[in-house]
């Protein structure tokens, strides 16, 4: 019975994806709704909202408990929560635990950051910061120094990923529709391209050189200047 | 599945990167890196040149519009930076502007062109057309009114274009109204946002005389000009902020003031650039403006007299004319000799390249062009 329940949860998650989050995805919606009701009752109330449960794909099905606001950084998860597509076992995300570790870390960190920004005591303390960049910030109340540290944190998060992990995070962030994380991973890939020769770029991304000799010569002539040092 | 990432197997996930993902990543690159990416694979090359993607990707100098006189008629052509190996990026005359196919090009700014009807047209002096030849959109401006009563005055006023797509989809046209002595009285500024002209009196020194034979540069929201008074002047799009900066050249450095011409302005690596004109025995100095304070000019490069005479100036030592510096790399373009060869000099490698022979009939203007594929002219026909 439990296994069936899990399977249904997974199917609903995938069904929601295929139909772009269409609430009427399955006929089991009624059962799922009541099952979710059970899950909500069991969920802990935490400052900042309910906790939601996410699970990675088979076989680990690793369990993550994250504040709802953090999970909603993913537009897709947001739609699924709105559409009652979770059961008491949580929402199954079809990515590996290794990838979901990074995604959850990102969402949790950014959720924490917005929390501290809206905290009046933290905001007041940072406003009196003599850091000139904080004073110069235009977005009233948002501490520029703190958001710069967040950028550094984001960069560190993706810098330590291997190429394969990076690709997995790109696909996950795309699938889950987490705009901020997409920006970070895309920028990381762009940084890997900067300063490299075409040959080096091919090696990094394992791309075959399909040019004919004539095409290659033609391009080199047109773009002679691009081979200067950056 | 987690275990496989640690094995050294060929990375197959890259193949899963969709075209949209790749274009998004490429759009974050500086333009030189993007050009290198064109050489990675035919697929990447095609992605970068695809009309649907170009609007997201940074562009660089594509070539030059230059004019020519054919039986007394002015004809404009486009020359690719890469020369004649490929067909010209832009077709002339501009068939996409019925009634205005044979316009004279006055200025180019970040992909837009400021044009006038040809000399033979009754509207040559008073009418402006702004177009984007890459997207084939265009708009005819209303009359500024600067030429109202004076029908004998058939000299067009100095006019320039200001457009910065990174800041706004709107453009501005600046038309400088002169006093009797050719000094600047004020400026008529057209805004594509309001669709109207407005006049502002000049706050530059009253004897400011713009040197119209140097390109102007629109950067940081300001239109910059050199003057014959050893200054660089600038005005913003509202006509409210008027700047006067000393040129990096000093009157005292000039041995022969009668043969001196103000420097050339250009956009170089994202900054305002001032290049001194060559004249006897002097290096070509290239300065950039790092800030608008008094000592804001920084000397970036110098091309020595020796390099000039060995490489740039033809063997018989006569004439060459600076066009511009490449915005993204250390190349200088110039027109050489009576034969009008369009050339490029690589400062890093001390090498000269021929771009194209422009023909010996004498080229008057050579306007650098960086395309823009963004949809910007909302009033386009």
| pLDDT greater than 90 at residue B35 | no
Report CB contact under 8 Å: B36, A226. yes
Q: How far apart are CA B112 and CA B161, in angstroms?
A: 8
**Measured in whole angstroms, how far is the alpha carbon of residue A93 from the centre of its chain?**
12
Mean pLDDT of B148-155: 58
Contact of B170 with chain A, judged by CB distance below 8 Å, is answered with no
**Measured in whole angstroms, how far is the alpha carbon of residue A193 from the centre of its chain?**
22
Report CB contact under 8 Å: A207, B21. no
Q: How confident is the model at residue B252 (pLDDT cuts 50, 70, 90)?
A: low
Contact of B93 with chain A, judged by CB distance below 8 Å, is answered with no
For the range B49-53, what are the long-range contacts, defined as Cβ-Cβ under 8 Å and sequence gap of 24 or more? B51/B373, B53/B23
Topology (CATH) of B59-369? Neuraminidase (2.120.10)
Cα angle for residues B56, B57, B61 (degrees, 5° grid): 135
B340-363 pLDDT, tens digit per residue, is 788 888 898 888 888 888 876 566
Q: How far apart are CA A205 and CA A198, in angstroms?
A: 11
Alpha carbons within 13 angstroms on the beta-carbon side of residue B224 total: 22
Contact A96, A17 (CB under 8 A): no
Indicate the length of chain B as a whole number.
381
Positions of CATH 2.120.10.30 in chain B: 59-369
Report CB contact under 8 Å: A205, B346. no
CB within 8 Å of chain A, chain B residues 24-53? 24-26, 28-30, 32-33, 35-45
B62-97 pLDDT, tens digit per residue, is 999 998 877 778 889 999 988 877 888 999 899 999
Report the complex ipTM. 0.72
| pLDDT greater than 80 at residue B260 | no
Report CB contact under 8 Å: B40, A223. no
Output the pTM of the full model: 0.77
Report CB contact under 8 Å: B43, A210. yes
The reported pLDDT for the residue numbered A24 is 38
User: What letter would DSSP give residue B16?
Assistant: G
């Amino acid at each position: 019975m439990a296994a069936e329940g899990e399977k249904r949860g997974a199917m609903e998650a995938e069904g929601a994806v295929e139909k772009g989050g269409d609430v009427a995805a399955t006929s089991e919606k009624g059962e799922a709704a009541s099952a979710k009701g059970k899950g909500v009752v069991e969920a802990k109330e935490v400052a900042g909202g309910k906790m939601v449960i996410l699970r990675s794909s088979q076989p680990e099905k690793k369990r993550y408990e994250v504040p709802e606001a953090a999970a909603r950084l993913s537009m897709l998860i947001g739609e699924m929560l709105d559409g009652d597509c979770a059961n008491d076992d949580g929402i199954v995300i079809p990515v590996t635990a290794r990838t979901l570790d990074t995604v959850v870390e990102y969402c949790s960190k950014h959720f924490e950051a917005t929390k501290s920004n809206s905290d009046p005591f933290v905001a007041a303390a940072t406003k009196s910061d003599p850091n000139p960049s904080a004073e110069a910030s235009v977005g009233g109340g948002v501490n520029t120094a703190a958001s710069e540290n967040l950028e550094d944190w984001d960069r560190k998060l993706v810098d330590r990923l291997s190429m394969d992990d990076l690709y997995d995070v790109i696909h996950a962030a795309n699938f889950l529709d987490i705009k901020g994380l997409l920006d970070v991973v895309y920028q990381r890939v762009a940084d890997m391209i900067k300063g490299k020769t075409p040959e080096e770029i091919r090696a990094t991304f394992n791309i075959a050189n399909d040019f004919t000799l004539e095409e290659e010569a033609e391009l080199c002539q047109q773009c002679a200047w691009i081979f200067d040092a950056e | 599945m987690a275990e496989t990432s640690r094995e050294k197997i060929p990375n197959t996930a890259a193949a899963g990167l969709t075209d949209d993902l790749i274009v998004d990543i490429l759009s974050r690159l500086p333009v030189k890196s993007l050009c290198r990416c064109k050489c990675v694979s035919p697929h990447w090359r095609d992605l970068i040149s695809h009309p649907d993607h170009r609007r997201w990707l940074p562009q660089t100098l594509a070539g030059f519009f230059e004019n020519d006189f054919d039986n007394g008629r002015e004809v404009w052509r486009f020359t690719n930076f890469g020369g004649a190996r490929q067909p010209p990026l832009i077709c002339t005359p501009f068939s996409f502007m019925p009634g205005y196919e044979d316009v004279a090009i006055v200025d180019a700014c970040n992909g837009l062109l400021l044009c006038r009807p040809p000399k033979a047209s009754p509207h040559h002096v008073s009418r402006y057309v702004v177009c984007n030849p890459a997207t084939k959109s265009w708009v005819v401006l209303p009359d500024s009114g600067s030429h109202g009563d004076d029908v004998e005055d058939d000299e067009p006023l100095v006019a320039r274009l200001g457009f910065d797509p990174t800041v706004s989809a709107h453009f501005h046209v600046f038309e400088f109204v002169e006093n009797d002595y050719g000094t600047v009285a004020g400026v008529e500024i057209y805004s594509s946002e309001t669709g109207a002209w407005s006049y502002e009196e000049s706050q530059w020194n009253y004897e400011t005389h713009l040197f119209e034979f140097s390109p102007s540069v629109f950067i940081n929201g300001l239109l910059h000009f050199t003057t014959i008074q050893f200054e660089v002047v600038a005005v913003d799009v509202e006509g409210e902020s008027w700047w006067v900066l000393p040129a990096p050249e000093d009157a005292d450095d000039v041995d022969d003031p009668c043969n001196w011409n103000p420097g050339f302005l250009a956009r170089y690596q994202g900054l305002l650039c001032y290049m001194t004109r060559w004249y006897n025995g002097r290096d070509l100095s290239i300065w950039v403006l790092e800030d608008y304070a008094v000592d804001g000019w920084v000397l970036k490069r110098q091309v020595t007299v020796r390099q000039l005479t060995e490489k740039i100036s033809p063997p018989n030592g006569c004439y060459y004319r600076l066009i511009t510096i490449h915005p993204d790399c250390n190349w200088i373009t110039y027109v050489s000799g009576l034969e009008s060869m369009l050339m490029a000099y690589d400062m890093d490698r001390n090498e000269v390249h021929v771009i194209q022979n422009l023909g010996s009939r004498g080229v008057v203007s050579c306007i650098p062009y960086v395309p823009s594929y963004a949809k910007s002219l909302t009033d386009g026909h």
